[in-house]
Amino acid sequence: MPKLSRPLRLGTRGSPLALAQARLAAEALRAVHGWGEQDIEIVPITTTGDVVQDRPLAEIGGKALWTKELDRALADGVTDASVHSMKDVETVRPPEFVIAAYLPRAATGDRLIGAGSLDELQDGATVGTSSPRRKAQLLARRPDLNVVPIRGNVQSRIAKVGEEVDATLLAAAGLERLGLGHVGAPLDDFLPAPAQGAIGIEARADDAETRALLRPVNDDRAFVTVEAERRFLLAIGGNCHSAVAAAASSHSSAMFMRAEILSPDGSEVHSADEELHGEDFLSPGDLARQLLSRASPALRAMFAA
C-alpha cells in the first residue's frame, strides 16, 4: 500500500455530475491502494463553461471552457490530477498533461427526456440541445422539430422539459452516475459523441509519482476505445461546431468502429464502419478519410482535416 505524505488532490468541475465522477475516481483509487477517506481530497473548481450558461459553447470558446481552469490548477500544483468527462475534453491537449487512467466506461448512448420515443413527439415539437451532433441527428430523423439551445447541468435541463422545451437529450452515463438511470428513453440508433461515457484522470506529464498511483485504476478496454475515438476525431478535424459521432468496441485482437458526420440541419449524413487490428487500434485515419471523401464541399468545410 503506497504511503502518502498528504492527501492526493483530485481537481474537478463543481457540477453534481462532475463531483459524482470525481467520487467514482476517488473510490477506485481507495479500493486499489487500500486508502482511507482522508487520503484523497476532491477539489471543486469553477470553470468558465459552468459560469456562462446562456450561450452554446461553440459561440464562446468550445471545449476548452471546461478544462482551462482545471489545467491551471494542475499546472500550478493546486491539484495533483484532474478528473474529466472525456467527451468534453479537447482532442489536442497541452503536452505538459497526460491522461494517466480511464475508469471502466459506462453506457455510451443518449436518452430522450420528455417522450417515450422520437415518434411520440408532436409535429413541430421543441427539443432543447446545444450539441451540434444531437441537433443534426434529430433533424435527420425529424426535420419538423424545432431544436433550440439549452444549457445547464443535468438536473436543470430535466427541469426545463415541460416548461421551456418539450424534450431534451442527455447522456445515459451521466444519468446513471446521478442515480437517474431510469429517466428517459434510450435512443439506440443515435451514434454517440466520441469518448461519451468515459471518465479520464489526467496528471502532469513530469509527475511520475502521481502517474504511478493512477495507473492501477486504468481500464484497458476503456483506454483503447476512447483513444481510438479521440484519434478519429483528430483525424477528421472535428471541432465544437462539427456534427460528428463515433463509437468503438474492442473484442480480443480486433476493434470495430462506427462513425458518422452530418450537416448542421441533418440533411446530409455519411456513415462508415471499419474493423481495426493490432497497431491500427489507435490509427482510425482511413475511416475519417472515407467519410470526408463522400461529403459535399459544404460539409467537408465543417471539418479542418
Start-end ranges of CATH 3.30.160.40 in the chain?
231-300
Q: What is the mean pLDDT of residues 3-29?
A: 94
Q: Quick one: pLDDT at residue 67?
A: 86
Q: Are strands 199-204 and 146-148 parallel, antiparallel or unpaired?
A: unpaired
Average per-residue pLDDT in the chain?
Answer: 90
Q: In this predicted model, what pLDDT tens digit does every residue of 164-192 receive, in sequence order?
A: 999 999 999 999 999 999 999 999 899 99
Highest mean pLDDT (candidates 144-153, 231-240, 283-292): 144-153
Q: List the strands of the sheet with 126-128, edge to edge.
A: 146-148, 126-128, 167-171, 110-113, 185-186
pLDDT tier at 278, thresholds 50, 70, 90: low
Where does CATH 3.40.190.10 sit in the chain? 8-105+198-218, 110-186
Nearest to 177 by CA among 47, 45, 245, 83: 83
231-300 CATH fold: Double Stranded RNA Binding Domain (3.30.160)
Whether 201 shows a pLDDT value over 80: the answer reads yes
CATH of domain 110-186: 3.40.190.10
- Tell me which residues are annotated as active site: 88
Angle value at C-alpha 27, between 24 and 30, nearest 5 degrees: 150
CA distance 267 to 56: 22
User: Could you tell me the fold of the domain covering 8-105+198-218?
Assistant: D-Maltodextrin-Binding Protein; domain 2 (3.40.190)
